[in-house]
Amino acid sequence: MAEAILCGVAQTIIENLGSATFEKFRPLWNITDDLESIKNTVSRIQAVLLDALEQQNRNHQASDWLEKLKDTFYDANDLLGEYKFHIELALQQEETIGNSAGKVRNFFRSIPLAFRNHKMRLRIIELRQKLIAMAEDRNNLHFNEGYVKPQESLNRETFPCLPNKEVIGRDDDKNAIIKLLLEPNNEENVSIIAIVGIGGLGKTKLAQHIYNDENVNTHFELKIWVCVINVFEVKAIAEKTNNTKLGEIGREIVGKCQGVPLAKESIGNALYLEKKDGWLKIKDKVQENVIEQRGGNTFPILRLSYDPLPSHIKGCFAYCSLFPKTYNIDKMTLIQPWMAHGLIQLSNNIEQLEDVANECIKHLLCRSFLYEASNNFYGLYKMHDLYHDLALSIAGPNFRFDYLDGKTHHVSFSSVSSFTKTLSLVKESYKVRTILFTHGGSFGTLDESTLSTLIESFPRLRALDIHKLNIKVMPNSVGKLVHLKYLDLSFNPIETLPDSITTLLNLQTLKLQECGNLEQLSRDITKLVSLRHLDNRGCYKLRLPQELRKMTGLQSLPLFIVGNNDGLGELNGLNNLRGTLRIKILVQLEDVNSQSEAKNLREKQHLKKLNLAWAHHEGHDEMLLDCL
């Protein structure tokens, strides 16, 4: 977990220092040399991170250094993030001023005093000195320099696991291939079966269904899924993979799992894509753990499937510990907070954060860290109790449930009462980055006063989930949460949002699902330049702001009502929309052709589902449908 956090925060610091905002304005504060020194020092520390992380379990000095480094990196990220935020906010507020000299004067006046006086420079110098001290300790601990591997791109890899959905239109193909595999007297001695077809035809899904078929599972004691990314000689790969020694090693490993299905499953996940040497190492680890854990504890064996994971997926898995056992976890309540905390990084400019996060979900599913909830229509997942225990042990003191202390960065509460009790003990914490409410039987009410105290007490929040808490009024002080990237206000009887919410320039996700009393958003909501997800499902009274089309970075906008808004033309330019878009038409359209052309749906190539609804019948329905 520390690996994912430290690497992610280090990268964020370097990216902030290299941003256009810092490059343009740091000479005005006479801190150019200081910021350059910070950037270089972070890079030097970054070079030894992997070795330090490798040593932390056997070297207490390395572990202590990493814990101090984490706090220092967090402080650096907070300071630089606030600095950047206030500059960008001031620029946004003054962008309409014409006179250059006046613009500069007003620009500086718009920045809080703490960020434009001598104290700011002193804070930067203090930060630089802390980082230099950490770098000197690095030298004393003799860590080996290396490089921080970029997060691997996962979007082209296929997996043997498959969602609990029926395969449609491929039953004959599936049965024919299974017959070839299981026929005991097959004279053809089949070793390779080719599934050929154009992209998107369902070849991988068909193979997944065959791989997971109950008869196939019963017939074959050992199965291996091999993903071939590039074009190779298939027969050569098959011959190379078909190693009888692997089968012998696999059976020996399975025999040591004490008959526990979850342990066998975990071992299978650990062996996934490993070569012979990797299988032998895992066999030795299993043997060692079986000897040490004669009481039947499978916990160390379960960890074998965790250790090889990429660092960012380890962080994503640890985040799951915030949800109670047996809890139905919504897919997007994982993906969007992961993004908010920088656990999802891009390896190129083509990928989207959401795509990489979806691949992380697939990895966790295929390694059984998550499994699909029954009747999973809405994308709900659960964790097995033992894997939840594993997540808790990995997350450590940085993640807490129903209480927090000086080490807590992420906390979830089961009720308002548990939160208010904690709040009475901890008046302020600059370390807390996440507050979630994971409700049980009773939700409780979070009144305006308590909500104001929450905002004042935890000013460095990145993710705040306060859904279903009977919130009627959102305090204006929410605008002080300058780091906030994820805000969930769903299922609350809120009638209006404060204008200050439009100053949250870092906000990526605003969830307002089923806020049925909400009628209007501030017209300045379009200033939320980082906003990617505006979840307005069930907000049938909500009037979206004019010039919505300017928010070209939006990835999701589930509901668009013609009648509450300015017409279909407001969808023009929102070409990054994904998932489902529901267009509800409440009024008769005077000019069907111009309205339908203005929406530019043909450019919205990432949409998976388009839902059209008319509040009443009008004569132009079919014409509009044809134009769309």
Q: What is the pLDDT of residues 55-107, one digit of tens each?
A: 887 888 988 998 899 999 999 999 988 888 888 887 777 665 554 444 555 55
Local confidence band at 502 (pLDDT 50, 70, 90 cut-offs): very high
Q: Given this model, what pLDDT does residue 487 score?
A: 98
pLDDT at 169 over 70: no
pLDDT at 451 over 90: yes
Local confidence band at 546 (pLDDT 50, 70, 90 cut-offs): confident
Q: Given this model, what pLDDT does residue 432 score?
A: 94
Nearest in space to 478 (alpha carbons), one of 440, 508, 448: 448
Segment (H or E) for 583? strand 579-585
In 213-280, DSSP assigns E strands to: none
Q: What are phi and psi of 375, to 5 degrees?
A: 50, 45
Task: Kindly state the percentage of the chain with pLDDT values over 70.
Answer: 70
Of 277-291, 297-311, 318-332, give the lowest mean pLDDT range.
277-291
Q: Given this model, what pLDDT does residue 374 score?
A: 67
Residue 463's beta-bridge partner residues? 434, 486
Residues 6+ positions from 517 with CB-CB distance below 8 Å? 493, 494, 495, 541
Of 308-317, 369-378, 395-404, give the lowest mean pLDDT range.
369-378
Segment (H or E) for 437? strand 434-437
Q: Given this model, what pLDDT does residue 151 score?
A: 43
- Do residues 599 and 572 lie in contact, with contact meaning Cβ atoms separated by under 8 Å? yes
Which three-class secondary structure state does DSSP give residue 484?
coil
Q: What are phi and psi of 162, to 5 degrees?
A: -150, 135
| Rounded average pLDDT over 19-33 | 75
Q: Given this model, what pLDDT does residue 166 score?
A: 54
Q: What are phi and psi of 206, to 5 degrees?
A: -65, -45
| Rounded average pLDDT over 272-294 | 56
Task: Kindly state the percentage of the chain with pLDDT values over 90.
Answer: 29
Local confidence band at 16 (pLDDT 50, 70, 90 cut-offs): confident
Of 147-151, 329-333, 413-417, 505-509, give the lowest mean pLDDT range.
147-151
- Do residues 52 and 24 lie in contact, with contact meaning Cβ atoms separated by under 8 Å? no
The whole-chain average pLDDT of the chain stands at 79
Q: What are phi and psi of 609, to 5 degrees?
A: -145, 135
Query: Between 241 and 401, where is the model more confident?
Result: 401
pLDDT tens per residue, range 586-609: 666 555 455 555 556 778 888 888
Q: Given this model, what pLDDT does residue 143 score?
A: 85
pTM over 0.75: yes
| Rounded average pLDDT over 383-396 | 88
Helices 2-17, 311-319: inter-axial angle, 10-degree rounding: 110
Give 17-41 as a DSSP string: HTSHHHHHHGGGGT-HHHHHHHHHH
Tokens 């342990």 -> residue: 263
Residues 6+ positions from 200 with CB-CB distance below 8 Å? none
Q: Given this model, what pLDDT does residue 113 score?
A: 54
Local confidence band at 467 (pLDDT 50, 70, 90 cut-offs): very high
Residues 6+ positions from 243 with CB-CB distance below 8 Å? 276
For the chain, the straight-line distance linking the first and the last C-alpha, in angstroms and rounded, comes to 47
Query: Between 242 and 361, where is the model more confident?
Result: 361
Q: Given this model, what pLDDT does residue 82 score?
A: 87
